[in-house]
Structure formats: C-alpha cells, structure tokens
Structure 1
Amino acid sequence: MSRFSQSCLFGAIAAGFMLAVAPAGAQDAFDLDGLIEAARAEPPITIYAVTGKIVETAEAFTAKYDVQAEGRKVNEADQVELLIRESQSGNVVGDVSVAADVAAIAAQLAPFDIVESWVPGDIAPNIAPEWSDPLVLVNDPHVFTYNTEVNASCPVTNIWQLTEPDYARKVAMLDPLVKPNYADWFSQMEMHYDDAIAQAYESHFGTPLETNERSATAAWVRAYAENQPLLGDSSSVAEAIGAPGQDDPFFGITSVAKYRDNAASDFKLGLCTGMEPFIGWLYPGPGVIASGTDSPNAARLFIHYLLTEEGIGPQAVDGKISTNSDIALPSDEPSGISDHFDDLMTFSMATAEADFDARQDWQDFWRLHYSR
C-alpha cells in the first residue's frame, strides 16, 4: 500500500499533543437534545474561521437550532492572537475557532489551556484517532495545478522539475513568510517524507541525491527557493495559474477551494495528477473551543454541526475533506480530488509542536535562498 494511501489520510498517524477535553465518559453519554436545550439557555456565540463561508454557516446553524451564532472570517495567525489576548483579558469574544494555525495551537494555546477540544460521542466512532485529539474538522488539500487551456495534461511529473531552469520564476505559490503553514509543510516533509523526496530525485535525475544539506527536503527547498517562485495570496496565485487567455501561464500550488473559479471566472485550473512523490498535501483544520467561553454548550453544538453533512456542506463543495468518514465530497466538487486521496501527503498532528519550533528556521532558510 502506498505511504500516501487513503488509509494514511484516515487512520495511520499516531495522535500527538493533548488539549483539555471533556471529562471521561462525557462523550459516551452524548445527548443531542439535551445539548440543544442547554445551548438555547446560553449567550450568543461567535465563531472565528478562515473561510468567509462561516457567515452563512452560522446563520444556518441559528435557523436550525434557534441558538444565536455569528461567523467571522479571521485568518489563521490572527485567530491565535485573538484567542491569546481574549484569554488573558478574561473577555472571550471568539467562542469557537475553526482552522486556526495548527502548529501555533500546539505550542501557544494547548499548553496554557486557552482552548479545549471536544468530540461529540455520536460522531466519535467515525473520526480516526489522529484527528480526534485535538479534533480536526476538515483537511484542506493544497495541490499542484496547471492551466488546462494551454496544456492538454500536467506538464510536471516530479517535484524536482520545479528546481530546473525551465521553471525559474514560473511557479506560483503562497509565501511561506506570510502563510507559515507552507513553512510547516517543509518541516513535515523533512520529518516524515524525506526518503520519498530523495527517491523522487533519483527517479527524475537517474542518480542518487548527493547534497551538503542536512536532508533531501532541505536540498529541494533550497533549489526550489533559488528558482524564485512567484509569491502571492490565494487569489493572485490561482489567477497566475488559471486565468484564461494566457500564452505562458504559471504552474503552481493552490488550495482546491480555488477551483470554484473555473465556473465563477472561467479559470482553467487542472489537478496535476501523477506527480512524484505526491500531488499536494493536506492541511488540517482543527475545531477548538475557547476555554473561557460563557456558552460551552452552544460552542459544542456548533462543533457537532460542523461534523454533519449539512454543517460542512459549504466547505465540502470547495474540496475540504471532513474527518467524519460518513461524509463524502460532493460529486460535483470541481477539482476531482476525491479520486486522488492516495497521492496526497498527509500532515502528522503528532509533530505539530515541532513544526512550530522549526518554523522560524525554515522561514529563514527560505528567505536566504529565495533572495539569491
């Protein structure tokens, strides 16, 4: 079985760092009706999430349960900063955090009981252990992508091609200095997939990798950075790759959520299948509750809602993969990623704190070689 198989996605990584959780037995005795009743007696809740769709999700939640909720789009790093400040001040505004910075949760929030993780007992059997503590709601695929208007098929078969002169200044991606989850991607590659990176080198060049760097991953990151990819935000990256009418579009890596622009803006984004050693990577989106919330039952009810097909639906259409194994991606999800789970690199939550410790080093390494 491939090391990037679907079993890796749903069942192969040991659970890592611990967050505060409900008392033993509390999840086994789950009572949804009782939770709804208790939630209705509590103050309204606010949910921080990286997607703007959280606004409509909160509105749908309120309509369904008669429990007031407001969704606010807040990026990963700002969520962590807000949770820390609100905890320190004793004035919790964000009751639920969705898809905040995974490594920062492990290093800055969990050790100080700023957040807690809770898994509803009726859904817990459907969630693999590695996504349960802390609870991960979804995994967000970031995939290598090409322009289908110019290329009949993916022009890249191996990540080491992206270090060659043909792809100098021709690859678009998010900036690891702005989006630290990309620095964490490097960290995860080195810790868990370094042999695969070395094997991909030999497959592409025909000889074993010889390097003065500490790892095959470091050798790849250095050469890739020295090729100076175009760095931007998610919208500009997707446009550089997929905007129609280009003669010489960028290759790149972006979230499958951007594939919705194929319909909305006539973009030509195509999933680059068959690349060695993987076609992209899965970034986990935790769902945690502020420990000081005045509405713990409403917060838990919202977590439960996001683990249902109805609650995660607005994100599932963008290719976000629920950790509830009963929920499949919609058949009309535009990227087609559901047919290629086997080829995705999976993040290990067990080393999230180590990713945080290594983050600055990777960012410095990137900065040094990108500027050359």
Structure 2
Amino acid sequence: MKRLTVTRLGAIGILLSTAALADGHIDNMTPQDLLPRAQEEGAVVVYSFTSRIGRVETAFEEAYPGIDLQGFDISSTEQIARLKAEAQAGVTNADVIYISDTPVVLTELLETGIIAPYVPPRVADRVPEEYRSPLLAQRLSTKVLMYNEESNPDGAPIDNLWALTTDDWRGRVVMVDPLQRGDYLDLMTEIVLRANEMSTAYEAHFGRVIDLDGAANAGERFIIDLFGNDLILVGSTDDVNVAVGAIGQDNPPVGFTSYSDRRDNADEGWALQVANSVVPAPGIIFPAVLALASEPQNPAAARLVIDFLMGDETETGGPGLAPFYVAGDYVTRTDIPPHPDAVPLDDFTAWRIAPAETATIRADVGDLVLTLQ
C-alpha cells in the first residue's frame, strides 16, 4: 500500500477539523452539515477487516459524489499491527477503522490513543449503550461451528463439542490458525473462560467426570484434545468454507467459521449451516466496531463514512448497511428488524464475549496454542 501524505486537500481538512474541534461541534454534526466539509477534503481512507468494504465504497461514492473512499481489506490482526507501527512512526494513513478482535483493540489501540470513539448523533438513540461504548459496534459477528447441510439434511452431525475430540472426527475439523487470526484466538479463549460449561458438557457426552490430566481446566483440556485429534489449520475463513461447505461431499468435515458466510452458499456452491444446537455452545458472537483515527486527515469524511455504515432511514438500512444485512450478522440498531433467514438472536446459542475479560487470559491461551502446533 502506498504511503499517504498530507496533500493540499488534506491540509484543508485539518484546518477545518481544528476549527470544528475548537467549538466542539464536529461530533454533533448531521450528515448534511458534514457533507460540504467532506467534499472539500475529497477523500477518506478506511481500514476494514472485511472484503465487503468494496461494496460500501461503491455505494458511498454514489451517495456522496466528490468523495473518494479508499477501502483497504486488512484483517483485524494485521490492522492492529499496522496501526501500532504507523503510530510509532508518526504517520496517520487511515481515517476510519472497521475492525473486530475487540479484546486487543480496546487495550492496544483505544487505551493508547491510536483510535478514538465516534457515535453518529443520527443513530445514537437507536443503538443500546453496550454497543455505543467504549466503541461503536455496527453489528455482531461470529466464529461458530458450521456443517454441510446438503450432506446432513437432518441437522448437525454432532450435538456436543467434545465429539470433535473423538476418533469419529479425527482429521475432520477445520479452523483458521488462531495465532494468525485474532477472532479464532478469542474463540479458544472463550472456551477456557467457559471451563465449567465445558466440564458439564464432557460429563454429558462421555458419562463420566473429566480427567484434566495436567490441564488447568476443562476448557484447556478441550483445546489440547482438539489439537491432538489432528485438527486441520488453514490460512483463511474461505478455506474453511470450501472444505466444509462444498456441495457434493459424502463425508465432509465440520469447521469453525463465520455464520454470515452462508450468504455466499448459492454463489460459491456451498451448503454451510450453523450447528446451533451443539452444547455447550457452537462458538462466539462478538462486536464489529467502528472508530476514528485519533487525528484523521479527513475528519468530516471519516464521520460521514461511519454514519453511512450505520444505515439510512429505510427499513433495512439501505445501501450502507446492505452488505451486512445478511443472515448470520446481527445489526445493533434496534429499529432495524433481524434478518428473516437468520436464527433469532434470542435463540442463537453462541457465547457473547466480554472483551475486557477475554483480554486478561488471551496471551496465555495463545501460548498454549503455540505449544500444540
């Protein structure tokens, strides 16, 4: 990616930002107020953990001519490393950060002042407090156990996570390497945090009390046994989706991936479905958050993008939210109805992570995973 420098338009944007910040108004501006300032800035750079930013780019530029949205598809793990390196070098490349992996984002980006919160006033009263602070969550995303519903028309082929550690599933469970993608490490961490539930599930599956055999708890024991059962680690979520979901398989594997990737079943020739009935849970559900760079080069355009990504006043949020209004993503705005093809959020059994709690042991779980590879 080329390094962005402060152009004449960028300098104008900084001057406008300084004036707006001086009177405290920019965070309270409506999209109509922001637009002329954003058009003077002329551009806005977004780091996004999802490739769907390409669709947002097209829709945003159609809605707001004269503003060049430059979207970069960068995983959360890579974003965190890049933003820290840029901050150390005194460089601000991104205006808007769209990211998951909140346990690390909160501690290494927000608390250190690399990013800053922003909640568009237009939607503030339609997003619950838990999703407005400390950062604005646009939607809830997932990393959950998925199976091939073409090959398993009667439902998921397992009903308990511990089945994945048995001979029947040796070499038939797929996951992105947790040391390469933070959301998957968050999944492993949540399994450890839910050790009591994992212990109960063990007894339900095997009919006996768990023998920790040197592990600290039942969550750690599960991770050790899962890796020891020839877990297949791959490089990307799409690799999981192809392995699990490709149609025409007689005995496909299962894998941990994003529930929302079901949206591509028809286009990609997949038959992905979530194993929502598995105990104690199929995986995790977590916030996908939006933030500003602490000193964006295009402050008005940056705020306009975040407002756009939160959806318009139509029933399903319009073009800004359209890439994310899919089964398996749960938008945080209370006035937008759930996607009709998704498991209702109240019935979705995935664990909701608590980012601050996850952060306390995440590094230790990463060390455990490292020893198992």
- TM class by smaller structure: 0.7 to 0.9
Asked if residue 268 in structure 1 is aligned to residue 267 in structure 2, the reply is no
SS in 1 for 2:60: helix
Matched residue type, 1:99: I
Asked if residue 199 in structure 1 is aligned to residue 205 in structure 2, the reply is no
Where does residue 337 of structure 1 map in the other structure?
343
Does structure 1 retain, via aligned residues, the 8 Å contact 2:87–2:114? yes
Asked if residue 295 in structure 1 is aligned to residue 298 in structure 2, the reply is yes
Within 5 Å, give how 1:160-171 maps onto structure 2.
160-171=162-173
- Deviation of 1:316 (Å): 2.0
Matched residue type, 1:107: T
Distance 1:137 1:270 in 2: 23
Where does residue 313 of structure 1 map in the other structure?
322
SS in 2 for 1:48: strand
Where does residue 365 of structure 1 map in the other structure?
368
Structure whose CA Rg is larger: 2
Structure 1 stretches of 5 or more lacking a match?
1-21
CA 1:354 to 1:37, structure 2 compared with 1: closer, same or farther past 3 Å? farther
Where does residue 48 of structure 1 map in the other structure?
47
- Deviation of 1:116 (Å): 0.2
Give the counterpart of 2:237 among 234, 237, 241: 234
CA 1:31 to 1:245, structure 2 compared with 1: closer, same or farther past 3 Å? closer
CA 1:220 to 1:235, structure 2 compared with 1: closer, same or farther past 3 Å? same
Where does residue 257 of structure 1 map in the other structure?
260
Percent same amino acid at aligned positions? 27
Give the counterpart of 1:179 among 155, 178, 181: 181
Does structure 2 retain, via aligned residues, the 8 Å contact 1:27–1:119? no
Aligned residues: 342
More off after superposition, 195-204 vs 36-45:
36-45
Matched residue type, 2:343: I
More off after superposition, 261-270 vs 46-55:
261-270
Cα-Cα RMSD = 2.5
Does structure 1 retain, via aligned residues, the 8 Å contact 2:103–2:356? no
Within 5 Å, give how 1:136-155 maps onto structure 2.
136-152=137-153, 153-155=155-157
Distance 1:353 1:26 in 2: 34
Residues 188-244 of structure 1 deviation map (CA, whole Å, 9 limit, x = unaligned):
3333x2322222122222233342422221111111111121111212211111212
Does structure 2 retain, via aligned residues, the 8 Å contact 1:47–1:94? yes
Distance 1:85 1:93 in 2: 11
Where does residue 357 of structure 2 map in the other structure?
351
Does structure 1 retain, via aligned residues, the 8 Å contact 2:261–2:328? no
Give the counterpart of 1:215 among 210, 214, 217: 217
Distance 2:58 2:120 in 1: 21
SS in 1 for 2:178: coil
Does structure 2 retain, via aligned residues, the 8 Å contact 1:157–1:276? yes
Does structure 2 retain, via aligned residues, the 8 Å contact 1:279–1:344? yes
Where does residue 8 of structure 1 map in the other structure?
none
Where does residue 328 of structure 1 map in the other structure?
337
Does structure 1 retain, via aligned residues, the 8 Å contact 2:28–2:120? no
Distance 1:27 1:127 in 2: 20
Within 5 Å, give how 1:40-79 maps onto structure 2.
40-66=39-65, 67-79=67-79
Normalized against structure 2, the TM-score is what?
A: 0.83
More off after superposition, 124-133 vs 246-255:
124-133
Matched residue type, 2:344: S
SS in 2 for 1:141: strand
- Deviation of 1:292 (Å): 1.9
CA 1:73 to 1:184, structure 2 compared with 1: closer, same or farther past 3 Å? same
Matched residue type, 2:139: V
CA 1:162 to 1:327, structure 2 compared with 1: closer, same or farther past 3 Å? same
Distance 2:141 2:348 in 1: 15
Asked if residue 248 in structure 1 is aligned to residue 251 in structure 2, the reply is yes
Distance 2:97 2:229 in 1: 36
CA 1:367 to 1:349, structure 2 compared with 1: closer, same or farther past 3 Å? closer
- Deviation of 1:118 (Å): 0.8
Asked if residue 83 in structure 1 is aligned to residue 54 in structure 2, the reply is no
CA 1:100 to 1:270, structure 2 compared with 1: closer, same or farther past 3 Å? closer
CA 1:337 to 1:34, structure 2 compared with 1: closer, same or farther past 3 Å? same
Matched residue type, 2:301: A
Where does residue 19 of structure 1 map in the other structure?
none
Which contiguous aligned blocks of 4+ residues in structure 1 show a shift greater than 6 angstroms?
Answer: 25-28
Matched residue type, 1:109: L
SS in 2 for 1:47: strand
- Deviation of 1:318 (Å): 5.8
CA 1:320 to 1:71, structure 2 compared with 1: closer, same or farther past 3 Å? same
Distance 2:79 2:28 in 1: 31
Structure 2 stretches of 5 or more lacking a match?
1-20, 312-316
- Deviation of 1:46 (Å): 0.8
Matched residue type, 1:330: H
CA 1:236 to 1:28, structure 2 compared with 1: closer, same or farther past 3 Å? closer
Normalized against structure 1, the TM-score is what?
A: 0.84
Does structure 1 retain, via aligned residues, the 8 Å contact 2:50–2:73? yes
- Deviation of 1:158 (Å): 0.6
Residues 312-368 of structure 1 deviation map (CA, whole Å, 9 limit, x = unaligned):
21122263222222223433x5xx33366431211113335425xx33x32331233
Matched residue type, 2:34: L
